[in-house]
Amino acid sequence: MATDFIDAFRRLQPHERGQALETLATELTPYEWRALHAITATRTFQADIIAKLPLELATHVFSYLDVAAPYRLRTVSKHWNHILGSLHILKTGLDQWYQGTADLRDARHALCEREARAIHAFRTGKPTIIFRLNLNPDKYTEQFMLTRNHLVWDTYEGGYTRDVCILNLDTWQLRRVCGEAREDISRVFVSDEIVVLATHSIVSYVYELQGGQVPKKFRTPSMEYYRNVACCDRTVACVGRYSDHTSVFIWEYNTQRGRSFDINHGAGGPDFEERQVYTLSTPGLPNCHHRGCHNGPYTKLTYTYSKWSLTYSVTPLLQPEAETIILFSSPFDRLSGHKGWIFYRYNYSGECIGKFNPTFLGLNDVLPWPPDNSFVPANYNRSLFTMRIRAISNQGGHIECQLQIDEKANVLRVWRGYELATHPDMEYNSMAWWNDTYYGSGGSKFQGGPRDLIAYMGTNDTQSYKQIISGPKDSDLDLDENDVMANGKYVVLKNDDSFYILCFDDNDISKRPQESDSFFGIGTLKVVKPESNPLKYNFSRTNVFTLAIMVEKVYVTYNQVHKLCQEAADQILNEFKPTLMIAIGGGGYVPAPAVKKLGREGEKTNFSIFVLHNKDKPKKGQLPQEILKGRYIAARTVGDVWINYPWEATDIEEHDRLSRAQETKS
Q: Is residue 410 part of a domain?
A: yes
Question: Which of 124, 157, 174 is a domain's end point?
Answer: 124
Structure confidence at residue 664 as a pLDDT band (50, 70, 90): low
3-class SS of residue 253? coil
Of 33-42, 256-265, 580-589, highest mean pLDDT = 256-265
Q: Is residue 602 part of a domain?
A: yes
Query: Are residues 518 and 378 part of one domain?
Result: yes
- The better pLDDT of the pair 560, 283 is held by 560
Output the pTM of the full model: 0.71
Query: Are residues 449 and 532 part of one domain?
Result: yes
pLDDT at 26: 87
Structure confidence at residue 158 as a pLDDT band (50, 70, 90): confident
Structure confidence at residue 231 as a pLDDT band (50, 70, 90): very high
- Determine what percent of the chain is predicted with pLDDT higher than 90: 16
pLDDT at 431 over 60: yes
For 52, the enclosing helix (H) or strand (E) is helix 49-52
pLDDT at 199 over 90: yes
Structure confidence at residue 205 as a pLDDT band (50, 70, 90): very high
Contact 310, 367 (CB under 8 A): yes
- The better pLDDT of the pair 297, 497 is held by 497
How many helices (H) and strands (E) would you count in the chain? 13, 41
Q: Cα separation of 445 and 457, whole Å?
A: 18
User: For residue 495, how many C-alpha atoms fall within 13 Å in the half-sphere facing its CB?
Assistant: 23
User: For residue 288, how many C-alpha atoms fall within 13 Å in the half-sphere facing its CB?
Assistant: 15
Q: Cα separation of 561 and 610, whole Å?
A: 13
104 C-beta neighbours (distance < 10 Å), count: 17
pLDDT at 250: 96
Query: Are residues 570 and 427 part of one domain?
Result: no
pLDDT at 337: 59
Q: Cα separation of 289 and 218, whole Å?
A: 30
3-class SS of residue 92? helix
Q: What is the mean pLDDT of residues 596-609?
A: 64
Of 126-140, 358-372, 379-393, highest mean pLDDT = 126-140
Query: Are residues 519 and 611 part of one domain?
Result: no
* Pick from 452, 441, 439, 315: nearest CA to 376: 315
pLDDT at 608: 82
pLDDT at 548: 60
pLDDT at 629 over 80: no
Query: Are residues 511 and 594 part of one domain?
Result: no
3-class SS of residue 112? helix
223 C-beta neighbours (distance < 10 Å), count: 15
Q: Cα separation of 430 and 211, whole Å?
A: 31
- The better pLDDT of the pair 605, 222 is held by 222
Identify the burial level of 10 via C-beta atoms within 10 angstroms of its C-beta, where 0-12 means exposed, 13-18 middle and 19 or more buried: exposed
Q: What is the mean pLDDT of residues 102-121?
A: 88
Query: Are residues 560 and 521 part of one domain?
Result: no
Q: What is the mean pLDDT of residues 504-508?
A: 76
pLDDT at 238 over 90: yes
Q: Is residue 653 part of a domain?
A: yes
Question: Which of 99, 124, 149 is a domain's end point?
Answer: 124
Contact 521, 515 (CB under 8 A): no
Query: Are residues 55 and 36 part of one domain?
Result: yes
- The better pLDDT of the pair 255, 466 is held by 255
| Cβ-count burial 510-529 (b if 16+ within 10 Å, e if not) | eebeeeeeebeebbebeebe
Of 289-293, 322-326, 427-431, 442-446, highest mean pLDDT = 322-326
Structure confidence at residue 236 as a pLDDT band (50, 70, 90): very high
What is the pLDDT of the chain when averaged over all its residues?
77
What's the structural domain count of the chain?
Answer: 3
Q: Is residue 30 part of a domain?
A: yes
Segment 265-272 long-range contacts (CB within 8 Å, at least 24 positions apart): 270/246, 270/327, 270/329, 270/342, 270/344, 270/352, 270/355, 271/329, 271/331, 271/342, 272/241, 272/246, 272/313, 272/314, 272/327, 272/329, 272/331
Q: Is residue 70 part of a domain?
A: yes
> Which region among 176-180, 190-194, 622-626 has the lowest average model confidence (pLDDT)?
622-626
Contact 124, 456 (CB under 8 A): yes
- Distance (Å) of CA 148 to CA 312, 449, 539, 660: 27, 35, 31, 33
Domain of 607, in residue numbers: 553-665
3-class SS of residue 394? coil
For 470, the enclosing helix (H) or strand (E) is strand 465-470
Say which amino acid occupies 457.
M
Query: Are residues 575 and 501 part of one domain?
Result: no
Query: Are residues 575 and 530 part of one domain?
Result: no
For 41, the enclosing helix (H) or strand (E) is helix 30-41
Contact 440, 431 (CB under 8 A): yes
Given its phi and psi angles, is residue 520 left (phi above 0), alpha (psi -120 to 50 degrees) or beta?
A: left
Q: Cα separation of 204 and 250, whole Å?
A: 13
Q: What is the mean pLDDT of residues 442-469?
A: 73
pLDDT at 579 over 70: yes
pLDDT at 196: 95
Give 249-300 pLDDT, tens digit per residue. 999 999 999 999 999 876 555 655 544 433 333 333 334 444 444 333 333 3
pLDDT at 91 over 60: yes
- The better pLDDT of the pair 209, 431 is held by 209
pLDDT at 594 over 70: no
pLDDT at 68: 75
Q: Is residue 186 part of a domain?
A: no
Query: Are residues 497 and 394 part of one domain?
Result: yes
Query: Are residues 486 and 446 part of one domain?
Result: yes
Q: Is residue 103 part of a domain?
A: yes
Of 75-84, 351-360, 490-499, highest mean pLDDT = 490-499
Query: Are residues 392 and 489 part of one domain?
Result: yes
pLDDT at 2 over 50: yes
List the CATH number of the domain containing 63: 1.20.1280
List the CATH number of the domain containing 588: 3.40.50.2020
Q: What contacts 619, CB < 8 A, 6 or more positions away?
A: none
3-class SS of residue 461? coil
- The better pLDDT of the pair 178, 139 is held by 178
Question: Which of 91, 124, 157 is a domain's end point?
Answer: 124
- Residue 140 DSSP code: B
Q: Cα separation of 128 and 281, whole Å?
A: 46
| Cβ-count burial 124-133 (b if 16+ within 10 Å, e if not) | bbebebbbbb
pLDDT at 209 over 80: yes
Q: What is the mean pLDDT of residues 70-76?
A: 81
Q: Cα separation of 535 and 450, whole Å?
A: 9
Q: Is residue 524 part of a domain?
A: yes
Q: Cα separation of 583 and 586, whole Å?
A: 10
